[in-house]
Structure 1
Amino acid sequence: MAPNPAAQTAFGPMVLAAVEHHEAAGRRLVDDDLAESFLPARLRTLVRLTRFGPLRAAVIAASERAGPGLWASIACRKRFIDDKVSDPAAEIDTVVILGSGLDTRPYRIARYSDLPVYELDQAVNIERKTAAVQRALGDIPASVHLAGVDFEHDDVMTVLADNGFRDTGRSLFIWEGVTQYLTPQALHGTFEQLRAVVPGSRLVFTYVRQDFIDGTNLHGAEAVYRKFRRRRQVWKSGMEPESVEEILRGYGWRVIEQAGPSYYRDLYIRPTGRKISASPIEWTALAIKD
């Protein structure tokens, strides 16, 4: 059992990705054929049941009632990040995943490439991830390196260096579904640590809107606010889309793209023909180190 609520959130996005994989290829918002195998037995059983279309629709509908738009937002942010990893124009030498949870991305990469991937997360999640990979795949690929980190106290660049990371200036840092769980001090402290990376490196990260964190605009997601802000202060930090560029510039990064609900609607949702919308409370940003 994980010692804190944030560690437990590793399961939800992977259940979503696994359920999405049961959609027909043209209807999937994200394509992850390893997601189910990384889940614990009880969740694998649940996911297998969603091969039955009506039950899958009921699971998605239940998610929509609990957090309108979050199903599509999480699926689409994963698709967006996968697109950045596979973009040939990026010429990536190394991938660094900050707060990797049960993310299968390193192991999908390892199928066709020896691209080095560094996974950093809380020690409890690294232990859980190691066990999941060994159960599903038999062993950790040589190109994947896992290390424990505490974003509230540790220096990310020191942890990476201690585990063999060398920044070439063509590294892609992925920080997905993490920033809202950190205190503002840890969030900005990590941005400060990432100031040290070589120009040319890229950073893709997600964030929750500050007005939602403050409770001034719940964007129709009252149940989500009660769960993550009122009952327990699980989500601690936010940003506003209009201020992200200025904040990142202060740490030596230049924002080159932001993805929110309209972006996801036009690029990912409409082509599937599905009647689903993305939530406005979570956004994804892509930046390059100047």
Structure 2
Amino acid sequence: MEQPDRARDPPRDHTRSGPSLTAERVAAFRAAESMLPVDQRVCYDPYAIQFTDPDRLDDLTEYTDTHFPGLRNYVVARARHFDDVITLAAKTGLVQLVILGAGYDTRPYRIKELEGRVRVFEVDHPDTQQVKKEKIAEIFGGLPEDVVYVPVDLETQDLGSLLLDSGYFPVKKTLFVMEGVIMYLTPRAIDAILSFVVNNSGQNSAVLFDYPEETGDDTDSSSRKTREDFGKHTARHGEPILFSMPKEGPGAFLRARGFSRIRIVPGDDYRRLYFIRKKEGRELLTTSSFVYAVVGDR
């Protein structure tokens, strides 16, 4: 297998403490979307409202739409796409689901196809995960038996050893999900994650993630400014954007790291998929794409 070039990490400390504000923001976006009429909403998450302050929901969504136009609709399109991919995988032989940077993801508790079929590992920073576990126990009266919580700082700890110690089976078909995650990781951490996936998962295992594309002169100026402004905003809250897909593109990037059967959904495609009928005309940030890639033959 071709050895990938390793990008140089930014020379600064990216460790953080406290629960993720980005995770709460994303939950708020899903909650707001879930309150829309069925024929107007893109995704549905009945538990998302539990992870944000309902009294601040209108202010947060209004602030986001004003300062980062199209971002909220991007997040709900991503949630819907990931829901669809995970649901299909659960119906077609998936055994393990690993959610990296799980935040306030509620899929293990609301996607029925996972129940009794798939063991879920939620991997996240300990500070965020503790808040998540307390809220899940409050909602359901306890923690579910088929969800394993793995506290990991992906920048400073060894994901592989901690996941294996938590009961992960490296020979079973597994889907690794990184929703809104890799842009906050250093290239070194991303390489470590992808290396673990390639070397410690069963046949037809795969990764699913979204990634920010390089913005250049051909990028819509409004979209480019929105992404730049959002990056500055998250950096001020201790979550700087550290990664964008190299210029060679996701195909070359992932093939060099041992993946094949790569499927990419760019902005124009998810606009066509999810923003139809009464949802047409909603402003949508399209400077990121979704990718699904299968571990190559070994």
Does residue 135 of structure 2 align to residue 125 of structure 1?
no
Confirm or deny: 8 A CA contact 2:43 2:77 kept in the other structure.
yes
Q: Which residue of 93, 101, 104 corresponds with 1:91?
A: 93
For 2:28 and 2:180, the matched residues in 1 are separated by 14
Does residue 192 of structure 2 align to residue 189 of structure 1?
yes
Superposition map of 1:177-216 within 5 A: 177-196=180-199, 197-211=201-215
Q: Which residue of 1 aligns with 2:37?
A: 24
- The Cα offsets for residues 18-44 of structure 1, whole Å up to 9 and x where unpaired, read as 11111001111111111112x15xx13
**Shift in Å, 1:62:** 3.6
Corresponding letter in the other structure for 2:294: I
Q: Quickly say closer, same or farther: Cα 1:76–1:229, change in 2 above 3 A.
A: same
Q: Which residue of 1 aligns with 2:232?
A: 226
**Shift in Å, 1:82:** 0.3
Superposition map of 1:133-212 within 5 A: 133-196=136-199, 197-211=201-215
Does residue 55 of structure 2 align to residue 45 of structure 1?
yes
Corresponding letter in the other structure for 1:84: V
Report the RMSD for the aligned CA atoms in angstroms.
Answer: 2.8
For 1:237 and 1:132, the matched residues in 2 are separated by 31
* SS state at 1:210 partner: coil
- The Cα offsets for residues 97-132 of structure 1, whole Å up to 9 and x where unpaired, read as 001001111111368612211000011011111111
**Shift in Å, 1:149:** 0.8
* SS state at 1:267 partner: helix
Long gaps (5+) in structure 2: 1-14
Q: Quickly say closer, same or farther: Cα 1:70–1:170, change in 2 above 3 A.
A: same
For 2:236 and 2:98, the matched residues in 1 are separated by 33
Q: Which residue of 2 aligns with 1:53?
A: none
Confirm or deny: 8 A CA contact 1:211 1:240 kept in the other structure.
no
Q: Which residue of 2 aligns with 1:77?
A: 78
- The Cα offsets for residues 217-237 of structure 1, whole Å up to 9 and x where unpaired, read as 762314224324689771111
For 2:142 and 2:210, the matched residues in 1 are separated by 30
When normalised by structure 2's length, the TM-score is 0.83
Confirm or deny: 8 A CA contact 2:87 2:114 kept in the other structure.
no
For 1:181 and 1:112, the matched residues in 2 are separated by 28
Confirm or deny: 8 A CA contact 2:17 2:127 kept in the other structure.
no
For 2:295 and 2:204, the matched residues in 1 are separated by 5
**Shift in Å, 1:152:** 1.2
- The Cα offsets for residues 177-205 of structure 1, whole Å up to 9 and x where unpaired, read as 11111112212222222221233101101
Superposition map of 1:250-289 within 5 A: 250-289=256-295
Amino-acid identity (%):
24
For 1:228 and 1:97, the matched residues in 2 are separated by 21
* SS state at 1:238 partner: coil
Confirm or deny: 8 A CA contact 2:87 2:111 kept in the other structure.
no
When normalised by structure 1's length, the TM-score is 0.85
Q: Which residue of 1 aligns with 2:10?
A: none
Corresponding letter in the other structure for 1:108: R
